[in-house]
Amino acid sequence: MKVVKTFSLKAWPRATIAERLSKSYSERVHITLHAEFDVGYVRDLKTRLEHVIKEKYNTRLTYTAIFTKLVSHVLRNHIIFNSIIEGDEVKVIDDINISIAVQSEKLGLVTPVIRNVDLKNLGEVSKELNDLVSRAREGKLSIKDLTSGTFTISNIGMLGSVDGFTQIINPPQVAILGIGRIIDKPVVIDGEVRVRPTCTFSLTFDHRAIDGYYGAEFLATLKSFLEIPEKVVGEA
């Protein structure tokens, strides 16, 4: 057996990542709900606003930015998912600060935070998201960039190979949303078969704090918002 590379789980940054994930997995009761939704209206919105946001904010509009903005409003309707656990207490947070999972060659897996997402427009969210992702990959994030998150989004669908997946909750948070690839599939609409872009969303949460029923409600609201993204997102 030929070993081509060896690395230590106790070396930074792997040690920090391993410790946090192991602690979260051992302490939290993870449960994941998967749901596949039509994202055709989101695709249409992205196509319509790409040029607007590029012109106005000099930044690129991504699906992650749109999903992040939509999820902030889902969280406002299901605020229990916007919580942290400290000791034996679940603390529901009013500020919606969404952590975005980013893979960095220099830092490993990091989760920089966009604060008060629900109060920002899509252009502002896009610009801040792209800046955070860029600095994460360059290894230039500050401690402030990585703290105060209340909910996490992990979008690996951009790689085009994964549908649903189970994430490990980002402590001290109680929930994380995984986003899979967008893929065209035949669906039945009004008795007719049509090809529509679909995406699988995987909601993982701590069953100690949140019952499965409320997870299903969260996903149902997300589904309804995906069908009217322009009304939810508002002006760019």
Tell me whether residue 110 is in a domain. Answer: yes
For position 11, what pLDDT does the model report?
67
pLDDT value, residue 21: 79
Residue 12 has pLDDT above 70, yes or no: no
| pLDDT of amino acid 19 | 82
Would residue 206 show up in a list of annotated catalytic residues for this protein? no
Entry pTM: 0.92
Structure tokens at 67: 């999903």
Residue 1's pLDDT band (boundaries 50, 70, 90)? confident
105-to-8, 27, 77, 88, 108 alpha-carbon distances in Å: 16, 28, 36, 36, 6
Residue 18 inside a domain? The answer is no
**For tokens 């249409």, what's the residue?**
44
pLDDT of residue 67: 99
Determine the pLDDT at residue 235: 77
Q: Over the stretch 54-82, which tens digit does the pLDDT of each residue have? A: 999 999 999 999 999 999 999 999 999 99
Which pLDDT value is given to residue 75?
Answer: 99
Residue 153 in contact with residue 96, Cβ under 8 Å? no
The CATH number that applies at residue 42 is 3.30.559.10
Structural domain includes residue 61: yes
Residue 9 lies in a domain: no
Tallying the residues shown for the chain, one arrives at: 236
The average pLDDT across 189-199 equals 94
Asked whether residue 24 is domain-assigned, the answer is no
> In this model, does residue 109 exceed pLDDT 80?
yes
Q: Which two tokens stand for residue 196?
A: 């529509």
Residue 212: inside a domain, yes or no? Answer: yes
Per-residue confidence (pLDDT) for residue 124, from 0 to 100: 98
Among the options 44, 95, 184, 211, which is catalytic?
Answer: 211
95 pLDDT higher than 90 = yes
207 is catalytic: yes
Select the more confidently predicted residue: 236 or 207: 207
Which range of residues forms the domain containing residue 123? 29-233
* Of 30, 34, 73, 207, catalytic: 207
Q: Is 57 inside any structural domain? A: yes
Q: Count of domains in the chain?
A: 1
pLDDT score at 14: 66
Supply the mean pLDDT for the chain: 94
pLDDT of 105 reads 85
* pLDDT value for 49: 97
Structural contact between residues 63 and 233, judged by C-beta atoms closer than 8 angstroms: no
pLDDT in tens, 198-220: 999 999 999 999 999 999 999 99
pLDDT at position 2 is 82
- Is 175 part of any domain? yes
User: Any idea which residue has 């606003």 for tokens?
Assistant: 49
